[in-house]
């Protein structure tokens, strides 16, 4: 085995960004799906010349002595129009900055569902009318394809680019592109990401049960409130699925079946983005900055971050402290512990799929907890 290549890396130190494959001068690395549906690099030992380029661009190989970004300022905020606010995950700041960035002539890269809702992809958007596709958190890993090359091309043509993604996406992009005065980045606070195959099977199962194609899907409907996100699917104008995220099979998979590297994330404390965006979970309901439709937490790390926050339309901003954001949101700085049944779930999923994996791994305690949550959410309505 070539010792200076990504072939030596284990699954817990590969976030699947594909930097190694697009950077290899010999085309010796390709990304392949494993049985769980996550992408990992495969190195062709005959083509590999052991040059180490693939290791250098890997986001998990961070220069440990490189300083993290500063915290310049922090905010809480939300859209002041219900239409925008309710259709976003938290307070909608990702949509607000994207809109103002495009209006100022820029291009936004974010994550959308494919037309059939069965896959999740990184999408380039240069027209505000397409921005709704990026709204809402999608909890399976997005397919990137040639995205980083496309960003590079846009920058080479002198265009201004805003890339919004998970901490590993941003670190990977910055390792690939290096610094560019026209590149702006925002990372989401991240608990981890589940398998794209899980998402596909979940959507296909809904279609199988209803016998109808899905025409709209969201992981974060707020009808039951921001703290009680539901998965909703529509077929035509008809609601075909509606269940609390935490009580659904996809929600169980999201908790139990993350990418192995998410339990060992090296990127979240690295903070190389211009902004960090998340849910302001720690905010008390009695706080004047609270809004039951969702509140965004915003951490500004750079002057570019300051300029991204400077001209948001229809968006209410309040000052906040880093401690307030950090105290309510451990995922800002720490990883979730790997669940004891993670491996079992992955093995059963690879052999027999989502329903079998949930059947075998979900304990009666989990099922009772889910029922109680459903009941509480109904009472809360």
Ligand X SMILES: Cc1cc2nc3c(=O)[nH]c(=O)nc-3n(C[C@H](O)[C@H](O)[C@H](O)COP(=O)(O)OP(=O)(O)OC[C@H]3O[C@@H](n4cnc5c(N)ncnc54)[C@H](O)[C@@H]3O)c2cc1C
- Neighbouring residues of 130: CB distance < 8 A, sequence distance ≥ 6: 123
Nearer to ligand X, 139 or 217 (CB): 139
Q: Which residues 71-130 are close enough to bind ligand X by CB under 6 A? A: 88-95, 110-111, 120
As measured in angstroms, the least distance from the Cβ of 302 to ligand X is 18
Which residue stretch of 24-32, 210-218, 242-250, 274-282 sits at the interface with ligand X (rule: CB under 6 A)? 274-282
As measured in angstroms, the least distance from the Cβ of 199 to ligand X is 10
- Closest C-alpha to 222, from 141, 135, 164, 286: 135
Q: Which residues 282-311 are close enough to bind ligand X by CB under 6 A? A: 296
Kindly state the tokens that stand for 166.
């998970």
Question: CA dihedral in degrees (309, 311, 317, 318; nearest 10)?
Answer: 70
As measured in angstroms, the least distance from the Cβ of 262 to ligand X is 9
Q: Is 42:5 a contact under the CB 8 Å cutoff?
A: no
Nearer to ligand X, 88 or 377 (CB): 88
Nearer to ligand X, 136 or 305 (CB): 136
183-188 and 161-165: which strand pairing? parallel
Q: How many residues does the chain have?
A: 381
Using rule CB under 6 A, residue 193 touches ligand X? yes
Q: Is 280:328 a contact under the CB 8 Å cutoff?
A: yes
Q: Which of 165, 167, 196, 282 lies at the binding interface for ligand X (CB under 6 A)?
A: 165
Nearer to ligand X, 5 or 296 (CB): 296
Task: Provide the 3-class DSSP secondary structure of residue 353.
Answer: coil
Binding mask 10-49 for ligand X (x = CB under 6 A): ----------------------------------------
As measured in angstroms, the least distance from the Cβ of 79 to ligand X is 8
Nearer to ligand X, 94 or 361 (CB): 94
Centre a 10 Å sphere on the Cβ of residue 287 and count the other Cβ atoms it contains: 15
Centre a 10 Å sphere on the Cβ of residue 72 and count the other Cβ atoms it contains: 15
Cα–Cα distances (Å) from 125 to 83, 113, 140, 188, 210, in that order, read 21, 13, 20, 18, 32
Q: Is 220:94 a contact under the CB 8 Å cutoff?
A: no
- Any alpha helices (H) in the chain, and if so which ranges? 19-23, 53-56, 82-86, 93-103, 147-156, 167-177, 196-210, 249-256, 303-308, 322-327, 342-352, 354-361, 364-380
As measured in angstroms, the least distance from the Cβ of 139 to ligand X is 5
Using rule CB under 6 A, residue 200 touches ligand X? no
Nearer to ligand X, 7 or 270 (CB): 270
Cα–Cα distances (Å) from 217 to 142, 242, 279, 373, in that order, read 15, 10, 21, 22
As measured in angstroms, the least distance from the Cβ of 90 to ligand X is 4
As measured in angstroms, the least distance from the Cβ of 16 to ligand X is 12
As measured in angstroms, the least distance from the Cβ of 143 to ligand X is 10
Which residue stretch of 177-185, 243-251, 273-281, 362-370 sits at the interface with ligand X (rule: CB under 6 A)? 273-281
- Residue nearest to ligand X as judged by C-beta position: 110
Q: Which of 13, 50, 137, 293 lies at the binding interface for ligand X (CB under 6 A)?
A: 137
How does 195-208 read in b/e, with b if 16+ C-beta sit within 10 Å? bbbbbbbbbbbbbe
Q: Which residues 322-361 are close enough to bind ligand X by CB under 6 A? A: 329, 331
Using rule CB under 6 A, residue 279 touches ligand X? yes
> Bridge partners of 276?
187, 299
Nearer to ligand X, 92 or 346 (CB): 92
Total chain residues near ligand X (CB under 6 A): 33
Q: Which of 53, 138, 152, 268 lies at the binding interface for ligand X (CB under 6 A)?
A: 138
Maximum separation of any 2 CA atoms in the chain, in Å? 64
* CA–CA gap between residue 373 and residue 103 (Å, rounded): 42
Q: Which of 17, 74, 171, 190 lies at the binding interface for ligand X (CB under 6 A)?
A: 190
Q: In which residue are the tokens 């279609």 written? A: 207
Q: Which residues would be at the binding site for ligand X (CB under 6 A)?
A: 88-95, 110-111, 120, 134-139, 142, 164-166, 188-191, 193, 277-279, 281, 296, 329, 331
């Amino acid at each position: 085995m070539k010792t200076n290549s990504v072939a030596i890396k284990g699954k817990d130190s590969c976030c699947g960004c594909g930097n190694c494959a697009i950077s290899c001068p010999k085309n010796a690395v390709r990304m392949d799906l494993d049985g769980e549906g996550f992408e990992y690099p495969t190195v062709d030992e005959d083509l590999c010349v052991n040059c180490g380029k693939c290791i250098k661009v890997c986001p998990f190989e961070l220069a440990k002595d490189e300083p993290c970004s500063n915290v310049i300022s922090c905010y809480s905020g939300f859209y002041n129009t219900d239409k925008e606010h309710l259709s976003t995950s938290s307070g909608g700041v990702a949509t607000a900055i994207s809109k103002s960035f495009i209006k100022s002539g820029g291009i936004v890269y974010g994550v959308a569902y494919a037309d059939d809702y069965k896959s999740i992809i990184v999408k380039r958007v240069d027209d505000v009318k397409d921005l709704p596709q990026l709204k809402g958190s999608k909890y399976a890993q997005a397919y990137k394809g040639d995205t980083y090359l496309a960003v590079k091309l846009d920058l080479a043509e002198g265009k201004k680019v805003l890339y919004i993604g998970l901490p590993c996406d941003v670190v990977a992009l910055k390792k690939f592109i290096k610094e560019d005065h026209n590149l702006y980045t925002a990372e989401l606070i991240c608990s981890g990401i589940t398998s794209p195959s899980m998402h596909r099977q979940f959507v296909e199962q809904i279609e199988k049960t209803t016998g109808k194609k899905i025409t709209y899907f969201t992981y974060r409907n707020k009808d039951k409130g921001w703290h009680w996100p539901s998965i909703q699917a529509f077929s035509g104008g008809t609601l075909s699925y509606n269940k609390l995220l935490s009580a659904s099979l996809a929600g169980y998979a999201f908790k139990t079946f993350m990418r192995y590297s998410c339990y060992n994330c090296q990127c979240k404390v690295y903070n190389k983005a211009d902004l960090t965006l998340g849910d302001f979970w720690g905010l008390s309901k009695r706080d004047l900055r609270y809004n039951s439709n969702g509140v965004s937490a915003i951490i500004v790390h750079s002057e570019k971050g300051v300029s991204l926050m400077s001209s948001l339309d229809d968006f209410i901003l309040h000052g906040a402290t880093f401690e307030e954001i950090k105290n309510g949101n451990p995922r800002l700085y720490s990883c979730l512990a790997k669940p004891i049944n993670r491996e079992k779930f992955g093995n059963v999923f690879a052999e027999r799929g989502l329903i079998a994996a949930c059947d075998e791994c979900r304990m009666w305690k989990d099922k009772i907890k889910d029922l109680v949550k459903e009941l509480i959410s109904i009472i809360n309505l």
